[in-house]
């Protein structure tokens, strides 16, 4: 009896050390996970982050944000968990040790045994396909989180960089107003104007000084956004801002970018994976009409000689309405996934049209400001200063000329910042073009 029990236990332990056969999708998913994980989380640990040096360029900051941002890590580990679920879904159920005894006044029989359940043909393969498609969707969600992390950094970086430009322009204007005040005092001393002009110059300086103070104060909130985009906590010191402005290089000729968006956008790829998952779910639901089988054997330990009792069970897929409901639900989920994909394709097309129009508009505005308005406003101010000193125009016209130049200069800064944000949005969120800093992670929509 003991020897039979020992054999049964040994067989069960031996089976517990078995490994199943990986499906092609599972092998590909694990290769991708190992490939990206070796760079993104080598040995399950965060790698050494690149130094944040003002002269190192924006690429270092992008790589830092991608490696350090908790939202990216969250998406990565969800993807890793989905890869493991493929193994779970394609694996056989665990075998069961069984025990049966007949007892009256004494133990009449002792029958240990072993039983294994075998899902119906094709069921494990179908479940693995569902899990594989879910893993693909999780992968593209991870890739999308990388792109969003890069966009969040640029969305914080450009306003912070151009803020310094605004402050610089306002300081230059403040110096100009000081010169205008000096001119007004000189005109007042010779009796050409009243002190009102001096006070007006001082009022403009006071207003501008307050505006500069507000801009400098806004650096705190912008720096907080910049640190958040880098995944830095408030205890960490403020990082330096990249010294040089780095524009997003993007080709906007024709509809090429929209074609790239439809081919590469992880938002669309994730929804395509949802459609595939729904299709696999239909196949899995259809197989619910196939019965499952269980086979086992029990041994009578007290008999002499020992005899074996084979066991076999099967499920009976009796409830046809339940099976039909499972299939109908899977089909409805597929139609819903296809509708979401279609809606997202429409949204990408609309977003692309709006953003490219915004880009063309801001580019025209910049050309106007650079080519005509700022230079003419500067010439107009010089003429107004000469006219004021000669008594040909009043101080109101002089201040108006100064304000016009300042407004055009600030408009130019706003337009440059807006253009950079549009380019970043087009390349990252719409087209799904992976930034160069993320290429070191081997991220590519072609990997699935």
C-beta of residue 251 within 8 angstroms of C-beta of residue 328:
no
**CATH number of the domain encompassing residue 95:** 1.20.1600.10
Domain tally for the chain? 1
- What's the CA dihedral at 33, 37, 42, 47 to 10 degrees? -170
User: What are the φ and ψ backbone dihedral angles of 309, each rounded to 5 degrees?
Assistant: -125, 105
Q: Which residues of the chain have pLDDT under 50?
A: 1-8, 10, 12-13, 444-448
H-helix or E-strand containing 298?
strand 293-300
| SS3 state at 411 | helix
Environment class of residue 104 by beta-carbon count within 10 Å: exposed (0-12), middle (13-18) or buried (19+)?
exposed
pLDDT of residue 2: 45
pLDDT of residue 34: 92
Range of the domain at 195: 2-447
pLDDT of residue 76: 95
Residue listed under structure tokens 């080709």: 251
| pTM for this entry | 0.85
pLDDT of residue 447: 44
- C-alpha distances in angstroms, 15 versus 11, 19, 292, 309, 341? 6, 9, 20, 21, 44
For the CA atoms of the chain, what is the radius of gyration?
A: 36
User: What are the φ and ψ backbone dihedral angles of 432, each rounded to 5 degrees?
Assistant: 70, 30
Tens of pLDDT, residue by residue over 116-152, are: 989 999 999 999 999 999 999 999 999 999 999 999 9
pLDDT of residue 234: 87
pLDDT of residue 369: 95
| Helices and strands, number each (H, E), in the chain | 12, 4
The alpha carbon of 23 is separated from its chain's Cα centroid by a whole number of angstroms, namely: 29
């Amino acid at each position: 009896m003991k020897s039979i029990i020992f054999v049964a236990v040994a067989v069960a332990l031996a089976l517990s050390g078995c490994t199943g056969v990986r499906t092609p999708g599972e092998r590909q998913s694990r290769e991708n996970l190992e490939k990206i994980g070796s760079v993104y989380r080598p040995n399950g640990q965060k790698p050494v982050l690149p130094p944040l040096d003002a002269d190192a360029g924006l690429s270092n900051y992008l790589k830092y944000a991608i490696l350090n941002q908790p939202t990216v890590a969250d998406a990565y580990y969800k993807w890793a968990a989905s890869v493991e679920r493929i193994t779970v879904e394609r694996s056989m159920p665990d075998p069961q040790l069984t025990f049966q005894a007949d007892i009256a006044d004494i133990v009449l029989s002792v029958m240990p045994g072993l039983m294994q359940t075998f899902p119906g043909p094709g069921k494990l393969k179908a479940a693995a396909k569902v899990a594989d498609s879910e893993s693909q969707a999780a992968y593209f969600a991870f890739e999308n989180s990388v792109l969003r992390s890069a966009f969040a950094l640029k969305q914080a970086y450009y306003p912070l960089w151009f803020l310094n430009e605004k402050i610089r322009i306002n300081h230059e204007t403040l110096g100009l107003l000081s010169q205008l005040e000096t001119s007004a005092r000189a005109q007042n001393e010779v009796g050409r104007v009243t002190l009102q002009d001096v006070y007006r110059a001082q009022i403009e300086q006071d207003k501008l000084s307050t505006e500069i103070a507000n801009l400098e104060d806004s650096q705190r909130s912008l720096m907080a956004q910049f640190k958040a985009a880098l995944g830095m906590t408030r205890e960490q010191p403020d990082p330096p801002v990249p010294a040089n402005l780095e524009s997003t290089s993007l080709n906007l000729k024709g509809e090429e970018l929209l074609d790239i968006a439809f081919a590469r956008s992880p938002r669309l790829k994730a929804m395509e994976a949802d459609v595939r998952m729904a299709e696999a779910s239909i196949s899995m639901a259809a197989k619910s009409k196939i019965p499952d089988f269980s086979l086992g054997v029990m041994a009578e330990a007290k008999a002499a000689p020992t005899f074996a009792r084979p066991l076999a069970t099967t499920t009976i897929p009796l409830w046809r309405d339940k099976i039909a409901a499972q299939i109908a639900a899977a089909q409805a989920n597929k139609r819903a996934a296809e509708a979401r994909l279609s809606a997202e394709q429409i949204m990408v097309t609309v977003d692309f049209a709006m953003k490219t129009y915004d880009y063309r508009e801001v580019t025209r505005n910049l050309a106007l400001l650079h080519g005509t308005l700022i230079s003419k406003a500067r010439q107009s101010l010089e003429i107004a200063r000469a006219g004021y000193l000669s008594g040909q125009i009043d101080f109101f016209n002089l201040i108006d000329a100064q304000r016009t130049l300042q407004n055009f200069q600030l408009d130019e800064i706003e337009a440059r910042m807006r253009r950079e944000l549009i380019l970043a949005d087009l390349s990252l969120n719409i087209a799904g073009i992976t930034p160069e800093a993320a290429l070191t992670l081997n991220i590519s929509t072609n990997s699935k």
